Structure 1
Amino acid sequence: MLALILVVGLAVGAWYLIKRSGEPAGGRPGFGAGGISQTVGHAAARRTDLPILIDALGTVTPLATITLRPQVGGVLTEVLYTEGQSVTKGQLLARIDPRPYEQALAQAQGTRVRDEAQLEAARVTLARYRTLLAQDSIARQDVDTQTALVKQLEGAVITDRAAEAAAKLNLDYTRITAPVTGRIGLRTVDPGNNVTANATTGIAVITQMNPIDVQFAVPQDRVPDIQAQLAKGESLQVKAMDRVRSSVLDTGTFSTLDNIVDTSTGTVKAKARFANQGAPLFPNQFVNVQMTLRTVNAVVVPVTAVRTGPNGTFVYVINEDRTVSMRAVKRGEATVDLVAITDGVKEGELVVTEGGDRLKDGARVMLQGEKPTPPRQGANGQRGEGQQQQRRQRPPPQ
């Protein structure tokens, strides 16, 4: 019984092998003689101007941020600005009660006038003493004493004039004006409150809005390139974009590099300046920075076309017969979407961009949008079809 089962199994296996050997050499219908065709994405290598970009995260930094602190103390009598208002340099913003400082100024002026009168009288007396000394009618000691009195009064007058100038300055400090043009923030002190000189909080903050800077970091490897471009006198364009990079907020120019490398990040701080007309950039706002370092003319392919293998960087080039060739290439500069190929690919050649993970050198592919190649029947397939027709024509057994 066991021998019979073994004989039947061998017979079935032999029948299966004979049937497989009779299939067409092209494989299953719908594929070419070279094997299964895999659908791939493709792109043509083209020559174009490739901008070399530096992308970074930046912070909007105003040129000036000034806290308005009173220089003298007193009662805040007037606030002449609106919160969030744009102010100009020299504009009057608030007043402190000036009356105590007006009285101090009047007192200083009176002291100066008195001492100037005494000085004038002392000078007249000194001139008389010198005349009498020439006539030998007075002792020299009296002349020396009067000379010292004149010098003493001259010093008093100088002190009086300084005190008068200080009183005028304090009176001017009762008028709080804008030191720069910018946007004023929220008010921290209301009229009627007593303010003190050099208070920590101040009464408001003015931020210069235009022009405005954006501070960002560049890799230390890019510093020589930036310095080389600046040495040529070229202006480097910088774009400030929103958080999702969907729109450009403003376009400016590169300003300067810091003088040290941050060892913790391997970057160097840099600044770019923007006109900021209409104030699209807001102080301390985070923006995406894109700086154009230079532009090169090269043959480019999509970044997805370049692959890395054991032997280095390569691409799959699509031949006219829809087979692919693995070709080693040398990469150049790159952007987010494109990479320059300095050697290995010519302009106009098609390269695989998608679906190349399972490809091998010489594999057959089909481009996206193309229709499958109709099945080709070999000689064995024709004979098999003829045998099927002969079988259909045979009469049924009696």
Structure 2
Amino acid sequence: MRNPTKKILVLIIIVLLAVGIWLWKFPAAKKIAAPLAVPVKVATVVRQDVPRTLTGIGSVLSLHSVAVRPQVDGVLTKLWVKEGQQVKEGDLLASIDDRSIRASLDQARATLSQSQAQLQVAAVNLKRYKDLSVDNGISRQTLDQQQALVDQLKATVQGNQASIASAQVQLSYTQIRSPVTGRVGIRNVDEGNFLRVTDTQGLFSVTQIDPISIEFSLPQQALPTLQALVHGNQAAPVFAYVDGNAEDGTLLGQGQLSLIDNQISATTGTLRVKAVFDNGGQKLWPGQLVNIKVQTALQHDALVVPPTVVQRGLDGYYLYRLKGDKVESVPVKMLFQNSDLNVIEGVSDGDVVIRDGQSRLKPGSQVEILKDTPAEPLEVAQ
């Protein structure tokens, strides 16, 4: 009995030594305590004026674009302007050979002089016949015939004067003048070409660049707002951008809302709207596609936060506000929102609010503000 007992004791001692050596060489890993502070990004509530806007895509259109065509047949003798040149209304653009029309005008004037001479003689004879008719020196029939001749010659003179006026109009057509102020387009004909009235191509076009208009479409729900803007005391500002919007696009110009179309499209549920822009810098070009922003209102002294600040809960909107190193939940009222900002009520100007990391927060949670995102006021593009 002694030998087995000793063997057991020796075995137990060996096991205990082995366990001790194991624990000494491989100590138990220490548990890493979970961090108490939640890393978050913050923003500051700012008070500023916030414009209310409607956006759409529009096409730039010229207020006046004229294809210059001949009104009489003839040889193009002179072009007085170059392609791309700016011209004013009434400027001489081109000349057409006018020799044939001048000859017709001279002929009409000669015919008028002949008719006037005949009328003068007939009028003198009529006066003589009237004097003789008092004493029955001539018959009544002769007097009536002379009166008819005078009336006929008067009508002939009027016809000759109309022919002269017509020839003068035709002569004026040989001097082609600009009907509008604008920019000359690409020339389609050269000097020496024979022009016809039936030519559809024309010489070139003259397109007004400044001022210029933009036509765009907006949802039919915006009709009451647009009507109020059009009939208001102050014209609604309209902004045109290319390659983006107010945040990342290039501003091409600022205009004014001028016209709402007289009907809504039944297929798309939109209505066409037109705005007029001053275009002295010629940044807007006919046919160009642009992004449009219509300022419908301006809310003064609004409390503004980034759109990621406000959260939606079962009881409405709320946000987390920083209080020391902890956060508190604050219910807010949403007054206006878009992709850039939220206008709210329920907080104060200068409050520091959480804009990222809300999913791990609850009221009273301790937070750590990330060093690379200091609390800065929100900048809103106007």
TM-score bracket for this pair, using the shorter chain length: 0.7 to 0.9
State the match for 2:306 in structure 1.
302
Alpha carbons 1:184, 1:207 under 8 Å: kept: yes
Q: Distance in 1 between matches of 2:92 and 2:231?
A: 44
Cα displacement string for residues 33-83 of structure 1 (whole angstroms, at most 9, x for unaligned residues): xxxx43222212222211212222222111100010100001111112111
Matches within 5 A, 1:1-398: 28-32=32-36, 37-245=37-245, 246-296=249-299, 297-325=301-329, 327-342=330-345, 344-357=346-359, 359-360=361-362, 363-369=365-371
Counterpart AA for 1:348: G
Alpha carbons 2:325, 2:367 under 8 Å: kept: no
Alpha carbons 1:66, 1:207 under 8 Å: kept: yes
Shift of 1:311: 4.2
Alpha carbons 1:182, 1:209 under 8 Å: kept: yes
Over aligned residues, Cα RMSD in angstroms?
A: 2.4
Alpha carbons 2:242, 2:291 under 8 Å: kept: yes
Q: Distance in 1 between matches of 2:86 and 2:232?
A: 39
Number of aligned residue pairs? 340
Alpha carbons 2:98, 2:174 under 8 Å: kept: yes
TM-score, scaled to structure 2: 0.81
3-state SS in 2 of match to 1:215 = strand
Q: Distance in 2 between matches of 1:174 and 1:259?
A: 41
Counterpart AA for 1:131: D
TM-score, scaled to structure 1: 0.78
Query: Against the structure 1 CA distance between its residues 87 and 69, is the aligned structure 2 distance closer, same or farther, given a 3 Å change threshold?
Result: same
Q: Distance in 2 between matches of 1:88 and 1:104?
A: 31
Cα displacement string for residues 258-312 of structure 1 (whole angstroms, at most 9, x for unaligned residues): 2322333333322222221121111111122223222212212111222334444
Q: Distance in 2 between matches of 1:163 and 1:38?
A: 96
Alpha carbons 1:324, 1:364 under 8 Å: kept: no
Shift of 1:217: 2.5
- The runs of 5 or more residues in structure 2 that have no matched partner are 1-28, 373-382
3-state SS in 2 of match to 1:305 = coil
Query: Against the structure 1 CA distance between its residues 266 and 328, is the aligned structure 2 distance closer, same or farther, given a 3 Å change threshold?
Result: farther
3-state SS in 2 of match to 1:82 = coil
Counterpart AA for 2:85: Q
> Quick one: percent identity of the two aligned structures?
37
3-state SS in 1 of match to 2:326 = coil
Counterpart AA for 2:272: K
Alpha carbons 2:259, 2:274 under 8 Å: kept: yes
Counterpart AA for 2:261: D
Q: Distance in 2 between matches of 1:233 and 1:125?
A: 72
Cα displacement string for residues 140-163 of structure 1 (whole angstroms, at most 9, x for unaligned residues): 111111111211111111111111
Alpha carbons 1:53, 1:335 under 8 Å: kept: no
Alpha carbons 2:255, 2:276 under 8 Å: kept: yes
Q: Distance in 2 between matches of 1:113 and 1:307?
A: 94
Shift of 1:206: 0.2
